[in-house]
Structure 1
Amino acid sequence: MSLNTPISKVRGLGSAKSGTHHWWMQKIAAVALIPLTIWFVASIVQMTQADYFTVKAWLSSPVSAILMLVYIVTGVYHLRLGLQEIVEDYVPNKGPKTFYSFAILFGCTIIAVACIFSVLKIAL
């Protein structure tokens, strides 16, 4: 027996009234990471014997730089969603939950900005 009303089942809303948006975003990010990770690993494997200037030239190409930035942003977004889900599911008190949520957002933002800056510094 479900505690949801029939209309909430149709709308996809749970008890928190937020629906499945968070779940869908995490799954979409995960699916997007599959080809990006294959591209990244294949690129790194091809450059195992490359020197610094070869890697810099590779990352300076627009396609590589854009794919790397998309990979970073998608990966950090997926990380944030996963960590947020852990906090929401396993931290019972509101005070620590709020602190951890802000810490996750701040930490992921710092990671994303540092990675984006690094890619742009090499690529430009």
Structure 2
Amino acid sequence: MANETSSPASMRSALGRVRGLGSARKGTHHWWMARVTSLALLPLTFWFVFSMIGLAGASYVETVLWIARPFNAVLLLALIAATFHHMASGLQVVAEDYVRPDTTQMLVVLAIKGVSILLALACAVAVIRIVAAA
């Protein structure tokens, strides 16, 4: 009896034992990625906000030329990637917590990831086209 209570299987919840999953099977990765993308987004967001303040009142041509600078284009692409990854990860956690049954949850998570990828690609293509045209 003492051996049963000290085994790793007894440390899991009843549902975890049935599914064969531990408490931190996927959650740890999401938690770390949320922290990493948050850390990346802090300086990128400050850079973007202050840059937009600096471009207030600028013409369309000046704005396009600003985007076309390699440094700005790379930082914009990094901002786009980090923003959409962070958004998709956060929405996935919400869907996993609140959407049931599991088949609907899987469809919602796939839709979140698909829309996030499409929007990120659209933003990245826009930046790349501006850089190529300038």
**TM-score with structure 2 setting the length:** 0.80
Q: Residue in 2 aligned with 1:8? A: none
Aligned counterpart for 1:82 among listed residues 90, 97, 106: 90
User: In 2, Cα distance between the equivalents of 1:19 and 1:74?
Assistant: 19
Matches for 1:17-96 after TM superposition, within 5 Å:
17-18=25-26, 20-96=28-104
Q: Which has the larger radius of gyration?
A: 2
Give how far 1:21 is off: 1.2
Q: Could you tell me which amino acid in structure 1 is paired with residue 60 of structure 2?
A: Y
Give every structure 1 segment of 4 or more consecutive aligned residues whose post-TM-superposition deviation is greater than 4 Å: none
Q: Residue in 2 aligned with 1:108? A: 116
User: Over residues 18-72 of structure 1, what are the superposed CA-to-partner deviations in whole Å (9 max), with x where a residue is unaligned?
Assistant: 3511100011101110100000000000011100111111111000000000000
Q: Could you tell me which amino acid in structure 2 is paired with residue 81 of structure 1?
A: S
Q: Sort the Cα spacing of 1:86 and 1:70 in 2 relative to 1 into closer, same or farther, 3 A.
A: same
CA RMSD of aligned residues (A): 1.7
Aligned counterpart for 2:106 among listed residues 94, 98, 107: 98
Give how far 1:91 is off: 1.1
In structure 1, runs of 5+ residues without a counterpart are: 5-12
> What secondary structure is seen at the aligned counterpart in 2 of 1:92?
coil
User: Over residues 83-116 of structure 1, what are the superposed CA-to-partner deviations in whole Å (9 max), with x where a residue is unaligned?
Assistant: 0000111112111101101100110011011000
User: In 2, Cα distance between the equivalents of 1:60 and 1:47?
Assistant: 14
Q: Residue in 1 aligned with 2:16? A: none
Q: Residue in 1 aligned with 2:6? A: none
